[in-house]
Structure 1
């Protein structure tokens, strides 16, 4: 490492991304991914949209039972 670094033209927070905006990848087990990929055959929808739709329905059901 250098003894000193020149930060005169540096921009603070240039690469900062708020935690709320970070999209973490979610990995499905192979059998689960294959099951849903099979359900999507011939449909104009992607795997992410299908999984999100199913999870939203699950959240709705969970909220009904916890209320």
Structure 2
């Protein structure tokens, strides 16, 4: 696939891209933070999300509160086995 993309680009287009994407003045690690906390994006099935939204609405809490509570309870249950 890469070769077909390269065949379609002209030499001038490639030169322009190289000029545009010049990182010679870049600073390595500028945005690197070794202690940064990364959050996991969790994607729920629509039916599960619907149930969670309903429960959260009934309890007056956020969906993530319910999910975290459930996960903590499951972890505790697993650790007792």
Number of matched pairs = 62
Alignment partners' CA distance in 2, 1:19 and 1:27: 25
State the Cα RMSD in Å. Answer: 2.4
| 5+ residue gaps, structure 2 | 1-17
Alignment partners' CA distance in 1, 2:23 and 2:36: 32
Partner of 2:75: 59
| 5+ residue gaps, structure 1 | none
Structure-to-structure mapping, 1:1-67, within 5 angstroms: 1-2=18-19, 6-7=24-25, 10-18=26-34, 21-65=37-81
Output the TM-score relative to the length of structure 1: 0.71
Larger Rg: 2
- How many Å apart are 1:22 and its aligned residue? 1.6
